[in-house]
Each structure stands twice: as C-alpha cells, then as structure tokens.
Amino acid sequence: MVNDVEAIVEISLVDSPEHRNWLLVLEQMESGLDRASRTATLGRLATVTAAAAEELAAPTPSAEWKLPSAELGQIPAELVERARDVLINQQKLIGEIRQARSAIALHLAAVRTVQQGTGQSIYVDVTS
C-alpha cells in the first residue's frame, strides 16, 4: 500500500505544472546549446558550404530565447542532474568559443601586418 501511495505522489509530481515548465526551459536550453555547438563546429571548418550557411541563418525557436519567469519556482529534484549537464555543456562551449576567438584574433593580427599593394605585381613568374 505504501508503494502505491509513493507511486501516485511521484506521478503527480512529474505531471505538475512546475515540472512541465522546467522541462520546457531545459529543452529550450539544450536546443540552444545544440545549435551553438553546430555553429561553433562549422566555424572551425576551412570552408562553410552554402547549405550550412543557410542552416545557420535560418531562424529557430532556440534563437528566440527569453529569460524564464521568476515564477518558475524551484527546480524539481528529478531535473537537477539534467540542469547540471546543461550548465557543464554551456561552460565547455564557452571555453571553445573563447579559444576560437583567440585564434581568430591572432589570424586577424597576422593579416593586418600585410601591407597594402602598390599596384605592382608581388609574384615572380618563374615559368618564363
């Protein structure tokens, strides 16, 4: 009998509005992470195909992120681990973006050191 009551209580907690709202928030955060991770991966490629560029430019629900309501309440205990995973993955992605930003800054600095051409050829034709 006690197990039946515990099962009913557990089912009612999982089906609560608070639980559903937190699930929605976590799903939005995970979707945003997936998109940001794909964008970061494509950004590391030497060339981005037209299809990939279109995918990145396409509006998605995760691109329309809104801060969750303060009335969301305390996160249900059964979702805490999932929220921790989101946080860990966000921190990893932030680190990757910082590294990419530093690499780009170095590349830009190298490009800026190249002087503008004077209109004269800078290559020597050795085939003639």
d(CA 62, CA 52): 17
Q: Are 22 and 75 in contact (CB under 8 A)?
A: yes
pLDDT at 8 (0 to 100):
41
The pairs formed by 97-102 with CB atoms below 8 angstroms and a separation of 24 or more are 97/40, 100/40, 100/43, 100/44
Q: How many CA atoms lie within 13 A of 117 on its CB side?
A: 5
- Over residues 16-27, mean pLDDT: 89
Higher pLDDT, 47 or 64: 64
5 pLDDT above the threshold of 80: no
Mean pLDDT score of the chain = 75
User: pLDDT tens digit string along 83-126?
Assistant: 999 999 999 999 988 888 888 888 888 888 876 666 666 677 77
24 pLDDT above the threshold of 50: yes
